[in-house]
Structure 1
Amino acid sequence: MSNDDAVVVIGAGQGGFQAAHSLRSGGFTGTIDLVGDETHLPYQRPPLSKDYLRGSTTTEKLRLADESFFADKRIRLHRNDRAVDVDRSTQRVLLESGTRLPYSNLVFATGARPRALPVPGSDLQGVGYLRGIDDADTLRELRAESAHVVVIGGGFIGLEFAAVERAAGRSVTIVEGLDRPLARALSPEMSAHLASIHTERGTRLLLGRTVSALHGRNGSVTEVELDDGTRVRADIVVIGIGVVPNVELAARAGLTIDNGIVVDEQLRTSDPSITALGDCAVFPAVHAEDRLVRLESVQNAVDQAKFVAAGINGTPGDRYDSVPWFWSHQFDRKVQMAGLPTPDDQRIIHGDIDSGRFSVLRFDGDRVVCVESVNRPADHMAARKILASPLRPTPADAENPEFTLQTFAKGGGRAPFSAA
């Protein structure tokens, strides 16, 4: 089979699916092979820790497309068939089944996997992660007969799972090694607010603590032992201590790796016929002063997939520059974030923290670079518009009593209160 006009996408998550979809809808007429290692059709992952876990949505509703879509779009979907080798000299991908797929362009959308907890007892029944549908299905079965839940890691997945379990009336303990939840992702003000929401609803939050071992009886977990010897009762333990990018295949193929598959401003790897996107890719981010970053979000994966597809279809952009944004639901709080913060930023609060409706504007010098919002979706949408523009509010603007993000966005950077 010829390599001419053949694209292979490794990874059938939301980014990989979007790449294949955008290629075909953008006019690509060649062969498209979408390779996934799960048995399921491509599906959305964010609802797994919320609606799906609660049982308020189904596997079918999570699907990004049904089987007829792939037939209609002439996308060959390889399910439960892992890519095991890439031969760059002949431009072939070898699958676990023995199938060899030729490519003129290869797209890595291999995502990331949960970071394992390296302590004794982590293999006990009742100990799990939450990354895919199979993980969520296992947890749904376990939680039906469980009363005591321990979450190891105070990141988004851990907090979302904890919120669902506490709302269902279970005893929940969160163990976080740092001094606040979401310390690497959110401002101290936002972290403190979310911590208070969880503790007010009865969740036990143990900060600055680590896990030394998991203990069990008859093969099932019963206790979590902390670094000081304290033991916490547990019927279920969910581990959410970060993820590891899936780069092993790319590394064996000789591509440049640095906490992800390194790509340039057009998402090309060190091999010009190979691109990478989503959780597995490290790229120079416009919104981080061209620092190499790796973003773990659906928005980034989807937008990068569209960018890669456009390039393969002959209409490449100058560089990938989409504004990063994220979201999370915890109890009655909708948390939204746009932009990328800097470690030593200046922060200005808009709204009332006590009311649960506020935004944190984060500044690098005299430019806003990130906005975090709780239950203020209009602020979030305005922030995305502002961050896509070269005109940004300064701290002096934000401290003006008449300032709002919406007014600034609508005024194109010249709000009515501006002295200019």
Structure 2
Amino acid sequence: MRSKAIGGIAAQSMQALISLVLQIMVSRILGIDDFGQFAILYGIIVLATAVITGLVGDTLVVLDRSRHGIRAGLEGTLALVTASAAVIAGVLAWATGFVSGVDAVLFGAALAAFAVEEIVRRLLMARLAFPRVIATDLAGFVIALLVLGAVWLAQPLTLGAFLGAIAAGQAVAACVGWFLVPRDDRFLVRLGGADYAAVWKYGSWRGLQQTLRPAMFTATRLLVLGFAGLTAVGELEAARTYTSPLILVVGGFSSYLFVRFAGKHRDGEGADSLREADRVVLVLLGLTIVMGAIAVALAPLVGPLAFGVELNTVAVVAWVAYGASVAMVTPYGALGAVSGRQTAVFLIRLGDTVLGLAAATVILASGLSPATVPFALAVASLLGGIGLRWLAASSKDTPRSHPDGTPSFG
């Protein structure tokens, strides 16, 4: 278990590092205002990818994807939802005047490529092939840097150049990752006979749940934009980006736990999963506190070097607090999701998300600093974690499975 867990953390850490480097480049090259604009667009990409990951990525882990109907349903859903999200996001970004027509096309392409690459990563993670996940991410990062270098030789870098680099890098990464998927899992099927009902029955709730955190971040950015302006968005996002490896490391371990818990429940061995989740929470909380203390200490030095601006210490501490709350929530959410209680997990997470956004609105409307907003999000998240822990503790049944692999209780 330990080596696989380390592999999961390493895979997410690599993705976090790549994302961090790209965002630092945007901040340094384009400036803090353009970084705020990029943060909103990137947040929408992450939000759409979260929907698709929950709907398709988590479902392929839990259901029997070797069955023709399930696999066809996964393929058809991925194609339809990805294309729809890319077109809608691109059109809205252009129609509202937020970006130019060319940038809107590049934005849509980046969203689609990002989502498809994430599903390929999920196929690899479902097989616990974490070194291959890292290789996939590195391939995409190299291509993105090559694209940026080629554009830089011809003209100054722009927002569109970064969107195009992300699109190209993720597209190549998806291809590389597909060829790294084990042969017995690397095949496509005809869409005829697709069992969309089974895919959507499980995946719709997971898709909704996966949207909550990125949707909250996007809504928070828009609230800060409305109350304090684009520069304030950039400054708050710089602090979040600086501390984002904390959350993504926690996410990496939780992705591993989701696969592990799903396997144990399919095999009827989930009796000790709650104790395991408790131990993981303690480990993640300790890791977050240590990493957070280091991040706060280094912020005055790293901020000007990495982002070209001084990081707000209050904002850094607040985002570390939010990271600690995530460490205390996500293992219980993963456990609840594989136990057939994804609806209850979603409702609890929806409640804490709405509470966090309401508190953020009050803070901003009261004229308090946007740097304090993550504290409100952290408290709401922690309350949700208490609810998820109670939900996991109240489950006493031994899981069974439907023929399609969907968990069942009772």
Q: Same fold (TM over 0.5)?
A: no
Q: TM-score range by the shorter chain?
A: under 0.3
Higher strand share: 1
TM-score (norm 2): 0.28
TM-score (norm 1): 0.27
- The structure whose Rg is larger is 1
More relative contact order in 1 or in 2 (CA 8 Å, sep 6+)?
2
